[in-house]
Amino acid sequence: MNTKEAISLFKYYVQSNHKQRTIESYTVLLDRFNAIHAERPLEGISPDEIFHFLESVTLKLSKSTRRLRYAQLKAFYNFIIDRCSLNMRNPCKTALLSKSFHAPKQLPHKILERKTVDEMIYNTDITSLPQLLRYFLE
């Protein structure tokens, strides 16, 4: 299956199952991918080529947008592999791509102990209390 056929099949799926903003977001990425790889077979596109494509498309974009474009291309390949029963591995699931476009791990929020909060309240200057009350009540 060539890339052009796969993209048109995926676009029909997205249009029938997603919201307009999602459709527009996928369309921008897939149209660019189609412009470069239209007549090539999906199996012939290497992870290295996908990496260079994503780098060129997301060059000056934020990290979250870069991760989104990677996730969209990965979802495209997952859909085509699953629905068309292609015997290939998703080229987006390589160490190079997943490390380059991964989401950073969230650190757990630090929760203050009750004793610390009590000390902060106790040590608050009483003269500033009326100002604080006016601030929160307005």
Q: Write the pLDDT tens digit of every residue in 20-34.
A: 999 999 999 999 999
Query: Where in the chain are the domains?
Result: 3-100
- Cα 130 to Cα 115, 119, 122, 133, distances in angstroms: 24, 19, 15, 5
Predicted pLDDT of residue 129? 65
| DSSP state letter for 91 | T
- Is the pLDDT at 71 greater than 90? The verdict is yes
pLDDT tens-digit profile of 48-64? 999 999 999 998 999 99
pLDDT confidence of 108, banded at 50, 70, 90?
confident
CA–CA dist 126, 41 (Å, integer): 73
Across the range 66-91, mean pLDDT stands at 92
Contact indicator for 115, 128 with CB cutoff of 8 Å = no
Residues in contact with 48: Cβ distance below 8 Å, sequence separation at least 6, in sequence order: 96
Residue 100, Cβ density class (10 Å: 0-12 exposed, 13-18 middle, ≥19 buried): middle
Predicted pLDDT of residue 135? 61
- Is the pLDDT at 72 greater than 90? The verdict is yes
Fold (topology level) of 3-100:
DNA polymerase; domain 1 (1.10.150)
Contact indicator for 41, 2 with CB cutoff of 8 Å = yes
User: Three-state SS for 2?
Assistant: strand
Nearest to 102 by CA among 54, 66, 53, 58: 66
Nearest to 101 by CA among 136, 57, 133, 134: 57
